[in-house]
Amino acid sequence: MHQSIFKKRAIFRFRLPALIFIGAFFLSLGMVVLSFSRAVSIDVPSASPRWTEDNGIGISVPACASSSGSATCVAGDTVPRVAISWDGVSGSEQDCHFVGVGGGVDINFFLESGWTGDPQTSTNRVYSISGSYGCPGSFVWDSSAPVKPQANTEYHWQVSPLNNNTIGNVIGHRSFKTPATCISAPTVSPFCDANGVSKATISWASNGETSGYGVDVDTDTNWNNGYWNKSVGWTTPNTTAPDGFSAYAGYVGPISFTGGASYRTRVYYVSRGAFSQVQTFTAQTCAAPLPDLIATNPFVPAGIVAGQSVGFAASFWNSGPGSAGASNAKFTIDTTNIGTPAVAAFAPFGGPQNISSSNWMATAGTHTLTACADTFSAVTESNEANNCVSTTFTVAAAPVVVNGACSATHYNCSAGTTGATAEYATYWQWWCNGSNGGSNAQCTEMKPIPTLVISPPSVSLTVGNTSQLVAFYDPDGPSGVQAEQNVTFSANWSSSNAFIASVNNAAQKGLVTANAVGPAVVTATYSGLSKTANVTVTALALPDLSPTLGALPAMTAGSGATFTGTIWNQVAPAAGASTARFRIDSVSIGTPPVGALAGFSSQGVTSNSWTATAGSHTLELCADYLNAVAESDETDNCTTTTFTVTAAANPIADAGPAHGTTVGVSHVHSGASATDANANLASYSWAFVTPCPSTCPALSGASGAISGGSATIPGPIYTPNVAGNYTLRLTVLDTGGLSGTANVVETAGTGNSAPIAEASISLDGTTFSQNITVLRGVPVTIWLAANRDVTGDGLFSRDPDGWTTPLVGVSAGGVCRWNGDLVQGSFVAQAGFTVTNPSSAGSGVGKCAEKVNALAKTFNDAPGNYSYEVLRITDATGAQSPASSVSVTVQELPDLKAMSIAFSGVLEVGQTIFFDGTVKNIGTGAAGASSGRFRVDVGNSGSFTDPEDVTSTKAVSALGQNIAATVTSSGWTGVLGSHRVEFCADSANIITESDETNNCMAPLTFTVNPQTTHLECISNTCQAVSGAGFDACGPVGATCNVSLCGNGVVDSGEECDGTNLSGQTCTGLGFGGGGVLSCNASCRFNITRCETDWIEPQP
């Protein structure tokens, strides 16, 4: 660090006149001068002090004192703000005291361009000011000064005492630079995007700020709602910046706004926090997006000849952002309508749907095929003028023979000028020799036209995928006799747009690679012929997050409630982690996190607790409310529901019915209940309403807790002490302290009541009822009970005076009498089933039903329902109950018999053979659901358990008396030779039958013969062809269409197409050994490599 340029001076003492002179000198320089009321002595050190300076770029000198400077922007001000400060070193002679009394200083700012390192020799001083700023001290230079600091400018600054001793080391002093022009208010351009979502572009003038910019968007004045913020260090204009930021860091999406709502936005420097002025804007209200239906890729079969019946096809798309409902396409040849097939609904930007026309009888000449979308204008579109696409094609004349006819066996071919050997001849000539009966006529015939075909003719790919195209050359056309040739690796391949879809013309010719979104045309050239295939490349699919709300909880004003929902990924592509949000009436009640979601998966979410308020409310759940996940549909992220919270209502008490009571007998009141519309029941209590006939008796069980919206209230227990009316009052409370009351009046008498018997019966000792069902003649075990509620009134056998009441109760000398032998007719008690002094109505030792447990019975009665009086109860006074009855329903047994077995299918090698078995219920009772079993003795060994033998089990429905059912086995692929098949009814033995020996019928022997014929599609008709082979169609005579075979799509009448097997496998076709399933040239399954184990096909 350089030493100060100021020299050592003696100590001067100025008098007032000298100070006045110096002040006048400084005034002449435009400076503010301090005035003193007395002479001041200033001690000047022998050398200038050295200072530490920090100008914001890390420059410093050894510290014996310090200074600093900074330059920033102030919100709303386009002029930089410069702040400097200085200090001394405490306790040192080189301290602030040398500035002098009053602390006057001189402040100077210099331009970098004129700075020499010495303030006395430097030029371009732009601003100076003197005053009582003290030491330590500070100064701010901003837009209020007469000379304002300039943006994007380098400055030096210097502070010195008014005696010209410099504060700050100016030797080697470096500059600081003000920021570029401070931020002005951003410009906002609201707009509606192509999907009808309200968005906005936020832009501002870039001023070269090196720290980058940030943007705030919010709805409140304090920037507290956190609607959106982005703080990223963009420093230069960038048309491909992340998250949609475009020119000069202007923002376009992905946030969407509420149409018609007001928002505020501002821009700031990322590192220094300076904010622009606030700009307000109103988001646009956007109309729903419209679809746009188009037709592309019109398909014309190759080599059409006059007289052929041919069909055409085209691809239909929705190129618009709105959904489209179902519509109709239209195909015309010239002006002739050849079909208006239906087109299914489209999702936004959906397609393609490949649609075919009706067939057209070809006529020679040039024609125009036109395919149009939405021919009946069923769909409102953004562009109604682009629905159609056309292409022209030529139909060759049918081959003809002119100038007479020649015998098929008596002619010689001659080349002539354009004869049979000419490569590009249009017709052949020949002459009949006239030998063996032939004539000498000259004949001509059209030369068959060679064709070139690409398979498939069109392909759709997503970016990054590939597809193999194959080229076929037919030297004499489809009607000729020469075989079609695969020339894929001999042809030359090219693409109309390799940027979108490139095609390999080297090692793997015909392999198409999808590179970018769009259409392209691939061309194959061979032997002077060219053929094209259309390639459509679409973008990789995106996820689609959508929420559903769970069931709403019960709520009343003041209660707490939480809400649930589910976030779904509705499509196959996976979605990353995101955040959901619950809101009630636009107020957030929770932002639960949502983890990454695989395709077609979901995650439950729960809100924070909300304190309910009375009135109508709107609950909203939004998926990905922070827009962290890019989706295929950003419009279905939120769902809402409205609900109403009712004000708290009083609970309702029901004291139940009045019961007769007996003096001196303990009484349990029953039948009371309570309800609460708010589902907040809390407690109940019972009390007598005074006066009672005498002193009110004691109540036990008079209070307890309840909950929910309804409750059964246990009655209190009391013993009337005198005859008369007793009024009971029930009081119920809810959690909010609201109450409800109800009274019931019960009358106490002095008489005795007879017991009440309620009997029940069971087949397992657990489940009791008033009736059981048994099979005739089948032994069973029964239980009888007296303490089961089988009428639903909550009661069972009882004594109204109290079962254990002394002197009168059943246990005090009464008896339970049972008809344990189930004698029909009037009640007959058996001594072996009588229990005296039973302690209760239960089934244990000493109780009413002690002797009627696990009784062995066999019912041989004719089918029907029989009633038995089984129980009568007598109390200690001899009062006797009426007899209580149970009933037994007797049913006959079924008998399932295997009646017959038949074959379906051709009994030939390789054919799929099915067996039909018939089961009949020949018994007198109904049979439940069962199963039928087919077994094939493949080796005809006499056993059905050899390793090669197979089994197929099928369900059989319930069968009534004399009802039969037929079931069909799984398909079995025929194996050459003689075999046996067996069919059995009730193979799992789950039906109890009157005859268990007739379930299986005798095995049937059959022979599988060699294959003699197979089916092929000839001239669009399924025909039988001699010889072994695989069926390409069926049945015989059926219309078949192979024109689309080879397009990779399983069309009507096809089992497969190329590598598209419709998800089927050898195992799925019934071949248990697995193997390799493929597709033949007729779009039928090739099963020659499937293993022949027979198992039941998988669903």
CATH architecture of 562-643: Sandwich (2.60)
Nearest-angstrom CA–CA distance, 777 and 760 = 22
How many C-beta atoms surround the C-beta of residue 691 within 10 A?
Answer: 10
Burial level of 491, CB count in 10 A (0-12/13-18/19+)? buried
| Residue-level pLDDT at 212 | 63
Q: What is the value of pTM for the model shown?
A: 0.29
| Residue-level pLDDT at 1062 | 87
- Residues forming beta bridges with residue 825, ordered by sequence position: 868
Q: 452-538, what's its fold? A: Immunoglobulin-like (2.60.40)
Residue 191 Cα distances to 185, 188, 281, 284, 326, angstroms? 19, 10, 11, 6, 30
| Residue-level pLDDT at 14 | 26
DSSP letter at 690 equals: S
SS3 of residue 17 by DSSP: helix
- Asked if residue 283 lies in contact with residue 263, where contact means CB atoms within 8 angstroms, the answer is yes
- Asked if residue 246 lies in contact with residue 239, where contact means CB atoms within 8 angstroms, the answer is yes
Selection from 383, 386, 372, 358 nearest residue 315 by Cα: 372
| Residue-level pLDDT at 29 | 31
Residue 758 Cα distances to 669, 769, 816, 827, angstroms? 20, 11, 12, 14
pLDDT in tens, 1040-1094: 765 677 788 888 778 888 889 988 988 888 776 778 888 987 788 888 778 755 4
- Asked if residue 291 lies in contact with residue 373, where contact means CB atoms within 8 angstroms, the answer is no
| Residue-level pLDDT at 723 | 79
Nearest-angstrom CA–CA distance, 995 and 542 = 64
- Estimate to the nearest angstrom the gap between the alpha carbon of 532 and the chain centroid: 39
Residue 479 Cα distances to 222, 322, 1020, angstroms? 82, 47, 15
| Residue-level pLDDT at 429 | 47
* 489 token code pair: 């690796």
Residue type for 983, please? F
State the Cα torsion 1085-1088-1093-1094 to the nearest 10°: 30
**HSE, side-chain direction, 13 A CA sphere, residue 877:** 18
Q: 896-1008, what's its fold? A: Immunoglobulin-like (2.60.40)
- Asked if residue 534 lies in contact with residue 458, where contact means CB atoms within 8 angstroms, the answer is yes
| Residue-level pLDDT at 603 | 95
Nearest-angstrom CA–CA distance, 821 and 342 = 75
Q: Which residues of the chain have pLDDT under 70?
A: 1-78, 86-104, 117, 119, 132-136, 161-175, 179-184, 194, 204-214, 220-256, 268-274, 398-448, 479-482, 750, 1028-1032, 1041-1043, 1072, 1092-1099
Handedness of CA 718, 721, 724, 726 (dihedral sign): negative
Spans of all domains in the chain = 16-177, 187-282, 293-395, 401-446, 452-538, 562-643, 671-749, 760-891, 896-1008, 1012-1099
State the Cα torsion 1010-1011-1012-1017 to the nearest 10°: 180
Handedness of CA 658, 659, 663, 665 (dihedral sign): negative
Buried b (16+ CB within 10 A) or exposed e, 222-241: ebeeebbebeeebeeeeeeb
- Residues forming beta bridges with residue 330, ordered by sequence position: 372
Q: 671-749, what's its fold? A: Immunoglobulin-like (2.60.40)
- Asked if residue 540 lies in contact with residue 529, where contact means CB atoms within 8 angstroms, the answer is no
Selection from 164, 168, 169 nearest residue 33 by Cα: 164
Q: What is the DSSP track for 58-107?
A: S-----SSEEEEEEE--TT-SS-EEEEEEE--TTSSSSGGGG-TT--EEE
Q: Is it true that 293-395 and 452-538 share their CATH fold?
A: yes
SS3 of residue 552 by DSSP: coil
Helix locations, 194-315, DSSP H: none
Kindly report the CATH number that applies to the domain delimited by 293-395: 2.60.40.10
How many C-beta atoms surround the C-beta of residue 1066 within 10 A?
Answer: 21
- Asked if residue 131 lies in contact with residue 106, where contact means CB atoms within 8 angstroms, the answer is no
Q: Angle 825-827-829 (CA atoms, 0-180°, nearest 5)?
A: 130
